[in-house]
């Protein structure tokens, strides 16, 4: 492949990438929506949906009627979900999931378009397919704001690349309303434009604040604060260094799985799981050499991990740092491409006559082969059908039981409010503190003592795992029901005239 042929190949890929990706994306969205999104139910997504249902019903931006508590971290996604509820109350969770599938697809496409501005477009194409393959099986996040947020962050960066400052500010504003994490990206883009022009990026700032200011004012007046209650509820679970180590180990597994797509040999997978930082560093050097703009995207991912490590939530909440997926996938595959290219150029004498042409062609051909194999792998995985796990089915069964027997004004204390909260209209007292500020619950070990919760909130019903019911009897509660398989849950009801009584005596 001569220089002219390499250029023509690159031009061909750039010209027809979007068309080819669209032809692939349509069956992808359809199959994942049918096989996964239609039946998927995830706890955190359903918390948002209960807020959305109350907004759609005119009750207000509340989880429990009359309680103005900002228990979600994603106002934009909550408002969009209110629209999904209006489209169909019974199918709102499925619509919410399908939106996540669509935003994942747009995220993958946009990552490729960003990379194709500066690098061989076949590399961007492979990055896009790898993101769709979803190596870490984060299907659970489809109903959350995760992929919407990633798309908006990537869109803001793409608009930075093209220096469309006002549109970039608007995209950053929408990203901020999706998750406050976008403030990091907004700061970095602002600093990048300031360093480039030696004057403040006023148009960016005005566009950004035009989007976010109405929400900040509304939140201050309506909730009394712009800070979501989950921020306090989820902090200090994990030490900072332990958090960073868990994130590193997670991406070791991620890149081991990526290597396994192409070379199933365990030795290769193990080597890649340890060498991925080296390839990512090589990719970082290549990207920054091509354009300093990439520093913004790379630093935003790194700072995101630093901020969350300082806050100390459970690193198992992987959607917090999901933005590393597109960033690290891009860095890693660019690094592989550049290492391959470097090795070929260093070995030109071994390539014989026409060595330069071969050095240009081999990486492109190799990545084209990898892309084709990735597409085969992708559609091989789309037969996967999501089936609710036994615990999820149990929670739905408990919700139906409660909904049949108790009026809406009944209060229920429990540590997991998504499924039971959405499937019933009971007033939830959240031991985990997401919608009940001042409480916390982590792994059943670190939590607000049950006695304090009962004295403070005096719930009508208490649902606890077996073995966590020690103080309930002495606080005026009697065992009402047991739920088995796969876990044993005990439902306690307040005894009329007991120490924690809220109901009138019969």
With a pLDDT cut of 90, the percent of the chain lying above it is 69
Could you report the per-residue pLDDT of 386-409, keeping only the tens digit for each? 888 899 999 999 999 999 999 999
SS3 1: coil
pLDDT at 212: 98
* pLDDT digit string, tens, across residues 324-338: 999 999 999 999 999
Specify the pLDDT at position 383.
78
Look at 112 and 432; give whichever has higher pLDDT. 112
CB-based contact 198:160 (threshold 8 Å): no
Q: What is the mean pLDDT of residues 126-140?
A: 82
Does the pLDDT value for residue 140 go beyond 50? yes
* C-alpha distances out from residue 359 to 2, 8, 372, Å: 9, 16, 21
Tell me the C-alpha distance between 257 and 262, whole Å: 9
Residue 230 predicted with pLDDT over 80: yes
- Residue pLDDT, tens place only, 203-222: 999 999 999 999 999 999 99
Range of weakest confidence among 12-16, 47-51, 323-327, 358-362: 358-362
Residue of 360 and 161 predicted with greater confidence: 161
Task: Tell me the helices (H) and strands (E) count for the chain, helix number first.
Answer: 19, 7
Residue 355 is predicted with a pLDDT of 58
Judge whether residue 2 has pLDDT over 60: no
Whether pLDDT at 282 is above 50? yes
* Confidence at residue 446, expressed as pLDDT on a 0 to 100 scale: 61
What integer pLDDT is reported at residue 345 of this predicted model?
65
Chain centroid to CA 302 = 16
Q: Would the pLDDT of 309 be above 90?
A: yes
User: Region 15-37: what's the mean pLDDT?
Assistant: 93
What is each CA distance from 204 to 141, 184, 209, 311, 424, in whole angstroms? 30, 14, 9, 29, 44
User: Measured in Å, how far apart are the chain's first and last C-alpha atoms?
Assistant: 88
Strand duo 411-414 + 427-430: pairing: parallel
Q: Summarize pLDDT for 417-469 with one digit per residue, the tens.
A: 999 999 999 999 998 888 998 887 766 556 778 888 898 999 999 999 887 76
What is the pLDDT of the chain when averaged over all its residues? 90
Closest CA to 443 of 313, 280, 336: 313
Whether a cis peptide bond, with omega within 30° of 0, leads into 486 is yes
Q: Identify the band that residue 16 occupies on the pLDDT scale cut at 50, 70 and 90.
A: very high
Check residue 199 and report its DSSP letter: S
356 pLDDT more than 60: yes
Given a cut of 70, is residue 497 above it in pLDDT?
A: no
Q: Given a cut of 60, is residue 145 above it in pLDDT? A: yes
What local confidence, expressed as pLDDT, does residue 342 receive? 83
Residue-by-residue DSSP string for 132-158: HHTTT-GGGGGGSSHHHHHHHHHHHHH
How many degrees, rounded to 5, is the angle at CA 162 between CA 194 and CA 117? 120
Q: What is the DSSP string of 349-360?
A: HHH-TTHHHHHH
Answer yes or no: is pLDDT of 351 > 60. Answer: no
pLDDT exceeds cutoff 80 at 343: no
Which of 116-125, 165-174, 231-240 is least confident? 231-240
Find the length of the chain: 506
Q: What are the distances in angstroms from CA 4 to CA 11, 340, 421?
A: 10, 20, 62
What pLDDT, on a 0 to 100 scale, did the predictor assign at position 8?
85
Helix (H) / strand (E) element for 492: namely: strand 489-494
Q: Which residue has the higher pLDDT, 393 or 362?
A: 393
Residue of 445, 457, 494 lying closest to 474 (CA atoms) = 494
Lowest mean pLDDT among 182-191, 291-300, 428-437: 428-437
Asked whether the predicted pLDDT for residue 5 surpasses 80, the reply is no
Phi, psi at 460, each rounded to 5°: -75, -35
Average pLDDT over residues 124-149: 87
294, two tokens: 């990439």
Q: For position 362, what pLDDT does the model report? A: 81
Q: What is the pLDDT of residue 432?
A: 84
Rounded average pLDDT over 133-149? 83
pLDDT at position 437, please? Answer: 87
To which residue do tokens 């504003």 refer? 173
Residues 6+ apart with CB under 8 A from 50: 63, 418, 421, 422
Identify the top-confidence range among 2-16, 88-102, 462-476. Answer: 88-102
| Per-residue model confidence (pLDDT) at position 136 | 64
240-272 tens-digit pLDDT: 999 999 999 999 999 999 999 999 899 999 999
**Across 298-305, average pLDDT:** 96
Residue 344's pLDDT is: 72
Longest distance between any two alpha carbons in the chain, whole Å: 98
CA distance 494 to 506: 12
């Amino acid at each position: 492949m001569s220089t002219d042929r390499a250029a023509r190949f690159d031009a061909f890929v750039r010209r027809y990438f979007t068309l080819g990706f669209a032809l692939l994306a349509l069956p992808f969205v359809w199959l994942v929506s049918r096989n996964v999104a239609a039946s998927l139910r995830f706890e955190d997504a359903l918390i948002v949906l209960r807020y959305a249902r109350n907004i759609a019903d005119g009750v207000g931006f509340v989880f429990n009627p009359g309680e103005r508590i900002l228990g979600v971290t994603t106002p934009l996604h909550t408002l969009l979900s209110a629209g999904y509820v209006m489209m169909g109350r019974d199918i709102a969770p499925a619509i919410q999931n399908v939106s996540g599938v669509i935003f994942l697809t747009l995220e993958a496409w946009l990552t490729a378009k960003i990379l194709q501005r500066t690098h061989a477009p076949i590399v961007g194409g492979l990055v896009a397919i790898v993101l769709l393959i979803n190596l870490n099986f984060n299907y659970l996040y489809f109903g959350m704001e995760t992929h919407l947020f990633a798309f908006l962050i990537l869109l803001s960066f793409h608009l930075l690349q093209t220096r469309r400052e006002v549109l970039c500010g608007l995209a950053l504003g929408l990203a901020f309303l999706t998750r406050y994490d976008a403030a990091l990206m907004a700061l970095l883009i602002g600093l990048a434009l300031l360093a480039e022009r030696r004057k403040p990026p006023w148009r960016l700032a005005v566009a950004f604040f035009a989007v976010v200011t109405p929400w900040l004012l509304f939140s201050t007046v309506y909730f009394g604060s712009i800070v979501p209650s989950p921020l306090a509820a989820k902090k200090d679970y994990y030490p900072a260094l332990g958090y960073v180590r868990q994130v590193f180990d997670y991406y070791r597994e991620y890149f081991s799985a990526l290597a396994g797509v192409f070379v199933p040999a365990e030795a290769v997978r193990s080597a890649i799981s340890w060498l991925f930082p080296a390839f990512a560093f090589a990719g970082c050097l290549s990207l920054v050499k091509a354009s300093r703009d990439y520093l913004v995207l790379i630093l935003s991912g790194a700072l995101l991990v630093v901020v969350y490590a300082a806050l100390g939530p459970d690193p198992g909440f992987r959607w917090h740092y999901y933005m590393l997926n597109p960033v690290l996938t891009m860095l890693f595959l660019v690094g592989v491409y550049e290492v391959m290219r470097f090795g070929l150029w260093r070995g030109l004498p071994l390539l014989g006559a026409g060595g330069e042409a071969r050095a240009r062609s081999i990486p492109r051909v190799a990545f084209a082969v990898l892309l084709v194999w990735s597409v085969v792998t992708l559609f091989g995985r789309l037969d996967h059908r999501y089936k609710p796990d036994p615990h999820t089915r149990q929670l739905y069964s408990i919700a139906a039981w409660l909904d049949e027997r108790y009026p809406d004004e009944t209060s229920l204390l429990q540590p997991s409010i998504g499924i039971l909260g959405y499937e019933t209209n009971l007033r939830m007292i959240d031991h985990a503190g997401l919608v009940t500020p001042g409480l916390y619950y982590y792994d059943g070990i670190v939590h607000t003592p049950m006695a304090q919760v009962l004295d403070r909130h005096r719930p009508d019903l208490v649902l606890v795992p077996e073995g966590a019911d020690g103080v309930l009897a002495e606080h005026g509660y009697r065992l009402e029901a047991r739920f088995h398989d796969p876990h044993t849950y005990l439902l306690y009801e307040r005894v009329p005239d007991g120490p924690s009584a809220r109901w009138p005596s019969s």
